[in-house]
A and B are shown apart, each in its own frame.
Chain A
Amino acid sequence: MSKAHVQTTINGEQTEFLCEPRQSLLEVLRETLGFTGTKEGCNDGNCGACSVTVDGVLIDSCLMLAVEADGVEIGTVEGLATPESLHPLQQKFLEHAALQCGICTPGFLVASKALLDHNPDPSEYEVRHWLAGNLCRCTGYDKIVRAVLDAAQEVRASA
């Protein structure tokens, strides 16, 4: 199968790759480009472990073809921290013990970042509503919701 040439931006870095038309963005991120922070949980758009942003919009990367990534800006979990420090969401997830096995964590972090970009002062209900597309089987969500609310407060305070 002939491959398509795709030029895209990942975490601010211009990138190009070749892919088959049938490959998902998730597959190319993980297997071709080595961005294995984005996880595969179901490959059918139901668990949110593969959450990334495309031009700022939160999506499941398993549901987008890689060829559709041409000319867009992709944000993954690898782009959240700076060399100097973790993003407040990452720090609060650690402080609140908001992860156990950690497989859903990158998806939750990317989704939570998209929430705070969209709504810097969410209520508990708004956090739960926004994150309902991300499944966690370990935590019961309590500590995740608390971590996101706490991080939101910190982001607002430092804005």
Chain B
Amino acid sequence: MAGAQAGSTRPMGSGLLKQIALFGGGLLVALLLDFTLDKAISDSSIRQLLMMAACNILVALSLNVINGMAGQFSIGHAGFLGLGGYSAAVVSANLHEALGGGEATFGKSFIVVPVSLLVAALLSGIAGLFVGLPSLRLKGDYLAIVTLGFSEIFRLVIATAQIGDKETIAHAWSSAGSPRGFVHAISVMITSLGGQNGYAGPKDAGVPLYAGPFWVVGLAFVLGVVAWRLKFSGWGRALRALREDEIAAAAVGVDPTRYKVTSFVISAVGAGIAGGLMAMNRDGTPIVQPDSYNFQASFDAITMVILGGSGSVTGAAIGGVFVTFTVKAIELLQSTSAVQALKQRFESLDLNALRMIIYAAVLIALMIVRPEGLLGERELFQKKAPSPAKAK
């Protein structure tokens, strides 16, 4: 990306050392967590909650690029998460088989996780390119509909692909010479993803859960720093300028076309990684299902960003954590005996609907008290002016 290094007048030497210390420290903490978390927290549901929070930070950070920094409005983030989730699940499961199966060890995760996430990021990024192209001609609601269309198509194609025989993919491709054969082979592949029931590896043995706290927390940390840097880089500045005034931004030489499309690609890449990590999360479930990527998931992501303050990196992170804990709190409430007793009487009782009420209440309250979100565009931990080009 041209422009990312613009205005970097900070002294190189000490900055580099600081950065090595920052990244080294973050990764060390993540590494320690990987080995100690199971012992420190025996309740797996709490571990799962913490890991989900880290993943959701990535979900919020990635959506923040489009909805916050670029000022576009995507309501189909779940599509990118799903593409990342399914890609990582398929790649990691097959790679796991190829490596001889067995246990998902920490050592092997250094092969499986990077490869799976790379594929997830790549495929999601390509989808981002195609969904981003209409952003050149469409704005606001119309663009939002395109993003929603993408994510629903993605989900429904997988969810409804259940028909068809148990033909193997290899066999289908061997006769894929004709256009019809090709389409058939593709549909066999999609069917192999398990339709509504979900995908649990090529032999239905479950998606291997390679992404322990080292990967989840480590990547949340590293990508968080990347998001922060991106915002205050020349690229982020130009993107935010474009959001505020397209003519004025173009007049200083910012190319709207390039920025709009790249912001979609970057956001999608981030979502691909987030989705991939969730699918392989050690404390998660060994199956990916289309319903995890429904509109509710996109809406959750939007809530995270709006809550924290559109455009704010730290705000997005806070929003991600808040939404995770709301989901968990409701789950806990569901399992209390009082609610269980109520459920006996009213079968259709589902407290998940409460979530929408809580979000709505919080969002309305926020609109009244702080329409710009918790932090607005500002950042926590930002004492001096964000700009690197400060005169020394």
Do A and B come from the same complex? no
Q: Which residues of B contact A (CB under 8 A)?
A: none
